[in-house]
Amino acid sequence: MSIDSVLANNNPSFEQLDVEWNKDEGTVWCYLNPQPRPCFNPQLLSEVIGLKDRLEDLGVTSSVLLERPHFAVFASRTPGIFNLGGDLGLFRQMIDAKDRQGLEAYAMACIDASYNVSIGYDLPITTISLIQGTALGGGMEGALAANIIVAERGVQMGLPEVLFNLFPGMGAYSFLSRRLGANEAERVILSGKTWQTEELHELGLIDILADAGQGEGAVREYIAERQRRSPNAVMAMQRVRKAVNPVSYQELEEIALIWVDAALRLKERDLRILDRLVRSQNRVCTQLDRQPTATQTPPLRLSFAKPGLAVH
C-alpha cells in the first residue's frame, strides 16, 4: 500500500504532535508525543489547536475532504500511555502563585483543543480517539472529545480529580453527559475511579473495544468499512452529528472558568495529594528515561484568537 504521508514535526512549530496524512486511506494520523511528561503541556496544546493550519500545509483541504469520508485519528507515541492529563506541576506552580490569569489561559487552551477535535476542526471529517494505553484526567477528557472512541481491552481510564477535591473541568461533564446522560456522567466523575475499558464499553462510553494490540487494526477496519459502504450516507451523518445536541464553546468556557475558581480554593491538604500525583507523573518520566525539567515547559502567553485563548 502506497502512503502519501508527511511528518508534522518536520515543521519546527510542531514538536510534540506527529501528523501523518495517508491519502490512500483518507486518514490523518495524529500521534501525541509530549515531552518530558506524557501530559497536555502548553506546547502540545498549541499544536493540537494549530492542527487545522498544518492540515492545509499537507494539502488536506475542504475540497479534498468532500470527495469521500475522511477521518482524523488521535493516538499516542508513548508505549502504554495515551495521556496522563494536565500538567500538574504547572498547575501547582500557578495555584501557589494565585495566578488566575495563568490558570484561565491554560484552561482556555485545553478547551480550544477539545472543542476543535469535537467539531472536526470545522471540516468534513470524523475524529477518532485510539486508546492503547492509560488515559487519566485531562487525558481521558481529550479522548472523550473525539466523535468515535476506540480502545483496547485491559487499558485503564479515569478522572481522579475528585481525589484532590477538584473536578475535571475541560470537557468531561459535557462529553460524558452527551454519551451517558447527566446522572451517569456525574457518577463517573465523582467516583474518582480508575475504570477498565471493558467497563466503559459496557456503559456505552467506548464505541469499539479491540483486543490488546489490535486497536490500530480495528480503526483501519472501521474506516475502510465506512468508505466502502454508503459513503454518501456516512458523510451526511458527519453533518448530522454536529447538528444534534452539540457541545458549544460557550458551555466549555463556562465550565472551565468554574474549574479555575475551584482550583484557587484548594486547601493545603488537597495540594499535598496533588503533589503525590505530580511525583507520580515524574516517576513515569524516569521510567521513560526522560528528565522532567521546568525549562521544557514553555510559558503560557495569551492570544485572543477565537475561539477562546490559545497557547503559543
- Mean pLDDT in residue range 187-200: 97
Alpha-carbon gap, residue 104 to 118, rounded angstroms: 21
Q: Please tell me the number of Cα atoms within 13 Å of 146 on its side-chain side.
A: 25
Alpha-carbon gap, residue 182 to 270, rounded angstroms: 26
| Residue 174 phi, psi (nearest 5) | -60, -50
**Does residue 282 have a pLDDT over 90?**
no
- Mean pLDDT in residue range 85-101: 94
**Does residue 303 have a pLDDT over 60?**
no
**Does residue 293 have a pLDDT over 60?**
no
Give residue-wise pLDDT tens across range 144-167.
999 999 999 999 999 999 999 999
**Does residue 135 have a pLDDT over 50?**
yes
Pairing of strands 208-210, 148-152: parallel
**Does residue 8 have a pLDDT over 50?**
no
Task: Please work out, in degrees rounded to the nearest 5, the angle formed at the alpha carbon of residue 27 by the alpha carbons of 86 and 252.
Answer: 35
Query: What confidence score (pLDDT) does residue 286 get?
Result: 73
Give residue-wise pLDDT tens across range 70-83.
999 999 999 999 99
- Mean pLDDT in residue range 179-197: 96
Percent of the chain with pLDDT over 90: 76
The distance from CA 301 to its chain's CA centroid, rounded to whole angstroms, is 21
Give residue-wise pLDDT tens across range 223-249.
999 999 889 999 999 899 889 989 999
Q: Taking the model in full, what pTM does it have?
A: 0.88
Q: What is 29-51 written as a DSSP string?
A: EEEE--SSSSSB-HHHHHHHHTH
